[in-house]
C-alpha cells in the first residue's frame, strides 16, 4: 500500500474514533479527572503551614471545563502489526474503554429464517413483510433494521412465494445494507473504504470468488448496478472484521482494530445493541498498552 494511501486511511479511522465521543461520556469524565490520582492530589495541595524552604509544584489551573473528550486509546501503525489500538493514558482494570454501535448489522449468510428487523430466529411458518415478503417477527417486533428503502428494494424478489430464496437473500443483505448506508451517509463510505479487506488474498480463494459472484448476480436482480471492486471490498471487509452477534454479523470499525491475543486484557459484550469494551487488567502507554481481545 502506498504511503500516502496508508496515511489517509489511518486519518479516516482516527476521525471515526473521535466521532464516537458522544456515545462515550466516560471519555469526558476521565479527561476532566486526569489529575485525580494520588500523586495528582498531592500536587494540588497548597503549601500553607510549610516552611519557605520547601518547594511546592504549582497547583494546576482550575479553568472551566471545556467539554473536551479524550479517548483512552489511540490508533497506531507498525510494519509488524499494521493498524492497532494502544492506550493513550493509564487505563484501570474495570474501566470502560469504549462503546461502539454497529455501523452495519446484517443476518449471517445461512439458510435459516431470521427477522430482518431484529435478527431474531423465526419458525418455519414465519410471516412476511406486507411490502416485500421478507421474514419478520409476528406480532411485529420493535426492531428497526428493515427500513423502507430496503423493503422497496426487496419487493421484486417474491420472497413470500419462494422461500428457497432465503439463503441467497441472507448472502446478499450484507452488501445491500452496506450500499444503502453509503447512499444515506457518505461519510460512512470513507470509513469502510479505510478498513482492511484482504482483497489480494481473497482473489486466490475459490470460496470468496464464488460468494462475490452470487452477490453480483443478486444485485443485478435487484436492479442495483455496482462496481465489482466495491462489492469485493465490502465482502472482504465483513469477512475480515465483522463480529458475530445473535442471528447476524456486526461491522464495528473501532473494535476490529484491537489485537487478538490468548491473554486478553479486555472483555466485551453487547448492551442494547451497542458493543461495550472494558479493561480487565491495567494498560499503560507506550509499552504493554495494546488493547487485546
Q: What pLDDT is attached to residue 63?
A: 43
51 vs 14 pLDDT, higher one? 14
Go through the domains of the chain in sequence order and give each one's CATH number. 1-37+65-102+253-293 (2.170.270.10), 104-251 (no CATH)
Average pLDDT score over residue span 11-15: 95
DSSP letters spanning 82-93: EEEEEESS-B-T
Average pLDDT score over residue span 237-259: 94
Q: b/e per residue, 110-123, with b = 16+ CB within 10 A?
A: eeebbbbbbbeebe
pLDDT tens for residues 122-146?
Answer: 988 888 899 999 999 989 999 999 9
Measured between alpha carbons, how far is 12 from 183 in angstroms, rounded to an integer?
Answer: 18
Averaged pLDDT of the chain: 84
The CB-side HSE value for 161 (13 A sphere, CA atoms) comes to: 5
Residue 192 burial (CB count, 10 A): 22
pLDDT above 50 (res 179): yes
Q: What pLDDT is attached to residue 31?
A: 54
What is the pTM assigned to this prediction? 0.82
All 3 cell numbers of residue 241? Answer: 472484521
Task: Assess contact for 85 and 73: CB atoms under 8 A.
Answer: yes
The CB-side HSE value for 280 (13 A sphere, CA atoms) comes to: 11
pLDDT tens for residues 34-63?
Answer: 444 444 444 444 444 444 444 444 444 444
Q: What pLDDT is attached to residue 225?
A: 82
Residue 64 burial (CB count, 10 A): 5
Q: What pLDDT is attached to residue 291?
A: 66
Q: Mark out the alpha helices in the chain (DSSP H runs).
A: 3-19, 25-32, 38-44, 148-154, 166-184, 186-194, 199-202, 206-221, 228-241
Eight-state DSSP code of residue 16: H
3-class SS of residue 234: helix
pLDDT above 50 (res 116): yes
Measured between alpha carbons, how far is 249 from 234 in angstroms, rounded to an integer?
Answer: 13
- Residues of the chain with pLDDT > 70, as a percent, come to 82
Amino acid at each position: 500500500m502506498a504511503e500516502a494511501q496508508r496515511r489517509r486511511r489511518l486519518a479516516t479511522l482516527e476521525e471515526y474514533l473521535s466521532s464516537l465521543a458522544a456515545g462515550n461520556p466516560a471519555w469526558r469524565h476521565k479527561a476532566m479527572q486526569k489529575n485525580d490520582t494520588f500523586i495528582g492530589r498531592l500536587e494540588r495541595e497548597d503549601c500553607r503551614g510549610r516552611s519557605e524552604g520547601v518547594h511546592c509544584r504549582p497547583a494546576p489551573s482550575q479553568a472551566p471545563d471545556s467539554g473536551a473528550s479524550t479517548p483512552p486509546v489511540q490508533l497506531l501503525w507498525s510494519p509488524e502489526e499494521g493498524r492497532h489500538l494502544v492506550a493513550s493514558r493509564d487505563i484501570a482494570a474495570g474501566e470502560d474503554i469504549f462503546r461502539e454501535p454497529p455501523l452495519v448489522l446484517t443476518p449471517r449468510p445461512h439458510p435459516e429464517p431470521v427477522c430482518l428487523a431484529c435478527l431474531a430466529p423465526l419458525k418455519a411458518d414465519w410471516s412476511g413483510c406486507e411490502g416485500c415478503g421478507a421474514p419478520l417477527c409476528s406480532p411485529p417486533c420493535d426492531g428497526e433494521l428493515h427500513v423502507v428503502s430496503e423493503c422497496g428494494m426487496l419487493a421484486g424478489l417474491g420472497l413470500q412465494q419462494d422461500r428457497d430464496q432465503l439463503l441467497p437473500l441472507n448472502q446478499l443483505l450484507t452488501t445491500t445494507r452496506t450500499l444503502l448506508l453509503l447512499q444515506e451517509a457518505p461519510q460512512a463510505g470513507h470509513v469502510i473504504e479505510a478498513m482492511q479487506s484482504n482483497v489480494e488474498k481473497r482473489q486466490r480463494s475459490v470460496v470468496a470468488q464464488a460468494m462475490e459472484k452470487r452477490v453480483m448476480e443478486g444485485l443485478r436482480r435487484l436492479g442495483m448496478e455496482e462496481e465489482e471492486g466495491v462489492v469485493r471490498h465490502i465482502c472482504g471487509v465483513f469477512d475480515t472484521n465483522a463480529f458475530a452477534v445473535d442471528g447476524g454479523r456486526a461491522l464495528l470499525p473501532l473494535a476490529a482494530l484491537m489485537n487478538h491475543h490468548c491473554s486478553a486484557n479486555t472483555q466485551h459484550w453487547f448492551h442494547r445493541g451497542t458493543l461495550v469494551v472494558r479493561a480487565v487488567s491495567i494498560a499503560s502507554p507506550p509499552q504493554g498498552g495494546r488493547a487485546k481481545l
